[in-house]
Structure 1
């Protein structure tokens, strides 16, 4: 590690050949700054409105807004939609503009800080507890949401007590009135939480891409918000049920379906669907039977539709913005997943892990730390499983690969399918029919933004880091922008039979003499064996596995409709669908609802949901068709200039392999001691920023985060600052 000092960085920001010296034009920088400032201003104003909504002055202003704007063709529905759902859609439009201006090579414009400093996003605050590992930024978000719920409950309770005390009625009637008022208020708080609930699970959302939070990271926010929302909705229903039971009319109220006002029966159905999803998503149930969790979670359609029937159109619009963005993403994912993808290569590696190489179009953009959802139709038409991409985007223009560890019934059946298909290779029979969603991941390859990297993996968690190593080495070889110069890989495995997994990447074949440019160390811990295997001739090495990969493009490659896809087409899809929604709702009011005097709340709620779906299918579907045509045309043009590249090898390959072997340490019967590891790094690397990327089970993430937090609290001035980044996907 001493070969590369902090004072002589490998890729200097001033090196014009690397691309880091490219300066953004002043006008473009100013425009991006203006867009970011406007986005933050709108978001803060929107969040402040929601936070202060329980206050009487704000509620009075809201009523004045409704009175002043309800005379438009859109009526009260349009007024509430513009004020409470409009901001998130406007932010999406501005995010699209920012992504278009930033382009696809934003890494070239990033500047590395010369002075290491803590970052709220990568500093772990909580490492144990129900929330898992929580960064400082996430902790602030949790505090703000908790403060909103506590403040709203307090404000509504005080208001209800004041209102009830004005009535000279019996204590029992006061209690019933209090329960119904609080039940109503818990429902309104739950609707505001629903405004955020669907945003984290919009996998290819422009909002997630703008703030550069990948879906696998945002999923836990959906889990947190889901628990909070269901607690509020459960209290909403429970308070009403207790009040009705005290009046002796519980059964009547539960099945009542009013035309004017809230319809109770749809609300009961919606709440029951939500409770089923909630119970089956609890950690114990989800771990016990993932398929039960997955299938019952499709009840979100029932939950949303019957919620609209329950509250009507204008109340539903309080949360419609986030739901609409999720519907946009879901339709795009549906279109992408219909395409069949060729499996270029499918094999079992010596360590028992499966490797699938999938065909992709040359214009599909993704980063090394990306993942895909995979469906194999011979195994199941309903099951989709997430897997990290194990190849770099520079490995090939026409393919990407994933490594799959055999753990459950689905992966066992996949292994059997691949093994049984070996005799069919000569007959060119396709044994697997695959469909793919994604790739999803960071908008910017953040692993390239650290000069010093620590990659901590547990078992198959090494898979994304193989892509990282390949990406870095190919960038070094090709002279592309790349900052890492010190890399420490800490890999914990249960048995030595998993060690050949590292052989699936040919380091010296990718970049000969890479040790002159990159200081790489690999520490491997075999936890369940006290000594190396006794088989004669056994030796751990980096010999690559032979592959039957065909580098030619395929007619059946994955689609690029979602994930880190084309900014122009994805932006046009969102904007056209939103404009379509406004047009359809306006036409519906002008030519049907107003002339014919449609007054049923539940019916207008259903019509509003139908307009949301129709705008996506009709207006957005037209853009998807044009997008698909453009994609096929671009792929056809790429095929005209196919050039199969071969990685050259040099005569000094043996010496490079020897250098790799010297930098690899294998310890048997031991687990990683992160306190010792970080102390050693502190002495060798000095006062620098160190990116720590973790991919593995929750216990591994907790151990690393806990040590980073402990080190940060007691660090010396000359020690590095460690930045925690989790790459684990826990759905």
Structure 2
């Protein structure tokens, strides 16, 4: 039964109002009107049980957590509702279509550019308002042992640091996985990672400018060492700020693309210094400033806790297939009730290879077709993936069927609540190399329609570009769908481009028959396997989000009343400022621990109903997986050798063939491929908006990028 649309509308309106209030608070915060009103509000709050610290938590932390709670509830209802209405596609196309295509910044939509411009304007406004207010109320500089320009430089440096707080408030939100708040607006984890990169670059730049400006004044005064090693009793602790700055720079340097791609382990380990960075930011800025960013930190901590709990229960592989293109297909068991959408991804850790490294892979199967298993396809592109290939290949060569020794920890799956391919009349899938993997799940899902044609695209065109002929074995998991094509997949047309080899094969069946055989190993028939733990549901995520806020607020109020006597200003001077910081940290630990205990109890209750599944049915189906006979050959499928595709020409021809319809264009591959497709979609949309009557189709661009 579909949820009441009134409830969805109410949730959406509530999210918009709360988010608008939070944004208005940030805009008004640097103004004199806000500062005067805030001091009055704090004085009044001190006369209540909340105190000024409770007021800070409610005003700065609650809105973000409230939006997250409402958002998870909204997504839960939307999943049961099904899909987005097609009437909204044309409006979304205008905002989400590529607007700027440039290698330094990538492919930006109009909406992304708008939000980036608004955020930059907000930073400029905040800095101008704070600095102008400081200059108008310049304190006497002689008692501070600073001349006038030094005092101005100090104030400017401090206000630059306040801009990095705004960046830190948003920094962790884009990289939430299971508790991803960006899913509310249809932005997935793999797409939002670049927002984390942009915000992180801005934060480090502002933090470095903040540190250089202030330390340059100390250097001129010849008091650099004295100031930077001082641990003040009250106010900002400079040495803590220096440690936080150095830690942030280390994280930033190790996350640069050359380091991240060649030394992923270094990048991964260095990123765990975020705990040091956040701790010393708290000690440097103080509890009053930490309240501004704690909502994102709390959500990130909850997300991390849920992921750790899910991954603690390891499972074993059902089967593994070694493909000729030096890729491995891994099949793992899952609970039948665990559903996922096309292009979903999981994070995998194999302790036999590394006890710490997690790697993301897109799921190539459909939960509508396989309710008790799922598969991922791993292409050898680095040290970890090569180690996995060598391990599985050696098992296959030795004829070993004991897969139980290869334990796997899994996080996820992570994906859209409802995938947008169901909105369109036609689909165009453009893939290069290993970029085919997310599209395999789309084709599997489309093949599971079970006669319900109205919910799925009627036409699908797959354009696949590879370097060598053997790379086409990446299509092996869906080869029965490609060869034995029937009505369940609709009208599928495949265009293959092999760029670095020449060949004469023009029939898809012959092409697959000419490829080397796939080596398959399966689990021992007499063994049993644990089902991977399911991720927590959206309603539980909404529950623990609000629970964490209430627990944090209650803990902070209680601890502050115990250790700091409110209403007595003289008593506050007895306590150093780090006492407040410690109380915030303790409240944070209590809040996250209470949510951890609640989640453990929930999982323990669920696990009582779970039993180990015998492997027999897994084994039998795994052995049959690649034993299907490829019958028939569709002449529509096209194979090209020795040349690259001109994607703009291909898409232009396609627009002339397709009747008036809504077309979803999905691309996953190198930047040059995404650039060509984005250029076509942008040009086509401009012609349509210009009133060209010949433009009958609506092309909506989607980039599926899994390079984190």
- Confirm or deny that 1:270 pairs with 2:241: no
- Higher mean C-alpha deviation, range 661-670 or range 711-720: 711-720
Instruction: Name the residue aligned to 1:526.
Output: 498
What is aligned with 1:625? 600
Compared CA separation, residues 391 and 87, structure 1 to 2 (3 A):
same
Which of 432, 444, 465 matches 1:470? 444
Query: Could you say what secondary structure the match of 1:658 adopts?
Result: coil
The residue correspondences of 1:313-352 to structure 2 (distance < 5 A) are 313-352=287-326
Q: Cα gap change, 1:87/1:167 in structure 2, threshold over 3 Å: closer, same or farther?
A: same
Please report the RMSD computed on the Cα atoms of aligned residues, expressed in angstroms.
3.2
Unaligned residue ranges in structure 2 (runs of 5+): none
Are 1:694 and 1:701, in contact at CA under 8 Å, matched by a contact in 2? yes
Query: For residues 246-305 of structure 1, what are the alpha-carbon distances to aligned partners after superposition, in whole Å with 9 as ceiling and x for unaligned?
Result: 211111111111121111111111111001111222223323422222211111000001
- 2:431 is the counterpart of 1:496: no
Match of 2:696 in 1: 719
Question: How many residue pairs are counted as aligned between the two chains?
Answer: 691
2:402 matched residue in structure 1:
428
2:457 aligned to which of 484, 494, 500:
484
Structure 1 residue 134 corresponds to structure 2 residue 105: no
Structure 1 portions without partners, runs of 5+: 1-21
- Provide the residue aligned with 1:614 in structure 2: 590
Distance 1:599 1:407, change over 3 A: same
Larger deviation: 151-160 or 439-448? 151-160
- Asked if residue 593 in structure 1 is aligned to residue 564 in structure 2, the reply is yes
Which residue number corresponds to residue 162 of structure 1? 136
SS in 2 for 1:691: strand
- How far the C-alpha of 1:459 sits from its partner, in A, is 0.3
- Matching of residue 383 in structure 1 with residue 390 in structure 2: no
Q: What residue in structure 1 maps to residue 270 of structure 2?
A: 296
Q: Which of residues 49, 68, 78 in structure 1 aligns to 2:25? A: 49
Q: How does 1:99-114 map to 2 (within 5 A)?
A: 99-102=75-78, 104-107=79-82, 110-113=84-87
SS at 1:363 equivalent: coil
Give the secondary-structure state (helix, strand or coil) at the position aligned to 2:702: strand
Change (3 A) 1:600 1:424: farther
Q: 2:546 is matched with which residue?
A: 575
Offset at 1:227? 0.8
- Tell me which of 623, 626, 636 is aligned to 1:663: 636
In structure 1, what is the equivalent of residue 511 of structure 2? 539
Indicate if the aligned counterparts of 1:120 and 1:137 stay in contact, CA closer than 8 A: no
Contact residue 505 and residue 511 of structure 2 kept, 8 A: no
Is the CA contact (8 Å cut-off) linking 1:375 and 1:385 kept in structure 2?
Answer: yes
The verdict on how the C-alpha distance between 1:633 and 1:84 changes in structure 2, with shifts beyond 3 A counting, is same
Which residue of the partner structure matches residue 40 of structure 1?
A: 16
Distance 1:366 1:293, change over 3 A: same
Within 5 Å, which residues of 2 pair with 1:110-259? 110-113=84-87, 116=90, 119-164=93-138, 173-205=147-179, 207-259=181-233
Helix, strand or coil for the counterpart of 2:66? helix
Q: Would the alpha carbon gap of residues 442 and 86 (structure 1) be closer, same or farther in structure 2, given more than 3 Å must change?
A: same
- CA distance, structure 1, for counterparts of residue 416 and residue 374 of structure 2: 17
SS across alignment from 2:511: coil
Matched residues in 2 for 1:478 and 1:486: separation?
15
Seen in structure 2, the aligned counterparts of structure 1 residues 100 and 407 have a Cα distance that, compared at 3 Å, is closer
Tell whether 2:555 aligns with 1:584.
yes
Change beyond 3 A, Cα 1:532–1:297:
farther
Q: How far did 1:511 drift?
A: 7.9
CA deviation after TM superposition for structure 1 residue 179, in Å? 1.4
Asked whether 1:454 is paired with 2:428, we answer: yes
CA distance in 1, matches of 2:621, 2:318: 18
Q: Which residue is equivalent to 2:658?
A: 685
Contact 1:311–1:601 (Cα < 8 Å) also in 2: no
Query: Does the 8 Å contact 1:360/1:558 carry over to 2?
Result: yes
Distance across 2 between alignment mates of 1:423 and 1:665: 34
- 1:602 aligns to what? 578
SS at match of 1:607: helix
Q: Quick one: structure 1 residues 729 and 423, their matched pair in 2 at CA, closer, same or farther if it must change by over 3 Å? A: closer
Stretch moving more, 421-430 or 329-338: 421-430
Residue 62 and residue 532 in structure 1: after superposition, are their counterparts in 2 closer, same or farther (change >3 A)? farther
Q: Label 1:344 to 1:503 Cα distance change in 2 as closer, same or farther (>3 A).
A: same
Whether the 8 Å CA contact 1:508–1:514 is kept in 2: the answer is no
CA contact (8 A) 1:311 1:605 kept: no
Q: Is the 8 A contact 1:39 1:91 kept in 2?
A: yes
- Aligned residues of 1:474 and 1:511 also touching (Cα < 8 A): no
Residue number in structure 2 paired with 1:17: none
Q: How far, CA to CA, are the matches of 1:271 and 1:452 in structure 2?
A: 50
Residues 1:167 and 1:466: Cα distance change in structure 2 (over 3 Å): same
> How far does residue 124 in structure 1 lie from its aligned partner after superposition?
0.7
Which deviates more from structure 2 when the two are superposed, residues 414-423 or residues 86-95? Answer: 414-423
- Name the SS of the counterpart of 2:418 in structure 1: coil
Trace 1:692-731 onto structure 2 (pairs within 5 A).
Answer: 692-715=665-688, 716-717=692-693, 718-731=695-708
Question: Any idea what SS the aligned residue of 2:174 has?
Answer: coil
Q: Please, which moves more after superposition, 61-70 or 42-51?
A: 61-70
CA distance in 2, matches of 1:309, 1:168: 28
In 2 relative to 1, CA 350–643 (structure 1 residues): closer, same or farther, beyond 3 Å? Answer: closer
Cα 1:350–1:45 change in 2 (3 A) is: same
Q: Deviations over 1:524-580 (max 9, x none)?
A: 11111243489xx9634699968556799964222222xxx4223222222322222
CA distance in 1, matches of 2:190, 2:236: 37
Residue-by-residue CA offset, 1:129-159 (whole Å, 9 max, x unaligned): 4321111111111011111112222223333
User: Which residue matches 1:672?
Assistant: 645
CA drift of 1:474 comes to 1.0
- SS of alignment partner, residue 725 of structure 1: strand
C-alpha separation between the residues in 2 aligned to 1:530 and 1:99?
Answer: 49
Structure-1 separation of matches of 2:556 and 2:348: 37
**1:422-446, CA deviations, whole angstroms, 9 ceiling, x for partnerless residues?**
3666563524221111111111122
TM-score by length of 1: 0.87
In the alignment, which residue of structure 2 is the partner of 1:18? none
Please report how far the alpha carbon of residue 490 of structure 1 lies from its aligned counterpart in structure 2 after TM superposition: 0.9
DSSP 3-state at the match of 1:703: helix
How far 1:720 moved relative to its partner?
Answer: 1.4
SS in 2 for 1:258: coil
Tell me how far apart the structure 2 counterparts of residues 483 and 276 of structure 1 sit (CA, whole Å): 48
Q: Show CA shifts across 1:149-207 (max 9, x none).
A: 12222223333333449879999711111111112111222112211111111111152
**Per-residue deviation at 1:76?**
2.2
Alpha-carbon distance between aligned partners in 2 of 1:429 and 1:292, rounded to the nearest angstrom: 30
**1:482 Cα deviation from its structure 2 partner:** 2.6
User: CA separation of 1:131/1:571 partners in 2, compared to 1, >3 Å: closer, same or farther?
Assistant: same
Listed one character per residue, the Cα deviations across residues 337-394 of structure 1 (whole Å, up to 9, x for unaligned) are 2221211112211332111111222222211210111111111111111111111112
- CA 614–404 in structure 1, closer or farther in 2 if over 3 Å, else same: same
Distance 1:629-1:512 versus aligned 2 partners, 3 A rule: farther
